[in-house]
Amino acid sequence: MPLVFDPTPTGKEPAAFRLLVRKDQANLDPGLRERLKSFFDHNQLPAPATPADQAARYVSLAYALGAPPLLDAPDRSDDLPNGILAVLDFAPLVREFYRKSGIDERLASYTRAYQAEGDRLRQPAAEMVRALLSYLHTRPIVTTTERVRIKSPEKKKSSTAAYTTREHDRKFHIVPT
């Protein structure tokens, strides 16, 4: 049985935003819909992968693609994570979907709805993180230190390399799907 990503728990109604997107895409070109479904079906992760594991690769691909309307895929290279490499050939279908679906006209309202949902989830997510940190009896590490080699302006070959450190703020993002 093919794995279908549907984050709606059994017995619950989908979120209003999800219903809106489904309604808006009801008239999508059937041929394109079938190619999207076929790609998804043929590129499933093996068991015991969850629907969220499956969706994560496509979310990562979305972050790797260029801005609309071009949605350029990154060059295939060893620098890309394996999850993106596995679904990189989905990028032409994403571009075709963007052109044929009319999503560009609705993107501004979708973005506002998505941001509103993110705002609604901010407080429960913060409470969850605080509870987890309390349970683990730890404090978050909010900075990271990087050791960087200093390149000397002189062209001498010295036997000792010089290093400095740089401090970066650490952040994490929760992406509602």
pLDDT digits (tens, 9 = 90+) for 124-159: 999 999 999 999 999 888 899 999 988 876 666 656
Domain range holding 135? 122-149+162-169
Residue 89 tokens read as 């050939």
Cβ atoms of 56 and 177 within 8 Å: the answer is no
Claim to verify: residue 35 and residue 96 sit in the same structural domain: yes
Q: How confident is the model at residue 1 (pLDDT cuts 50, 70, 90)?
A: very low
HSE toward the beta carbon, residue 133, CA cutoff 13 A: 11
Measure Cα distances from 156 to 22, 126, 148, 162, 163 in Å: 64, 52, 19, 13, 16
- Count up the domains in the chain and report the number: 2
- The answer to whether position 10 is within a domain reads no
Claim to verify: residue 36 and residue 89 sit in the same structural domain: yes
Claim to verify: residue 24 and residue 88 sit in the same structural domain: yes
pTM of whole model > 0.75? no
pLDDT digits (tens, 9 = 90+) for 46-103: 999 988 899 899 999 999 999 998 999 999 888 888 889 999 999 999 999 999 999 9
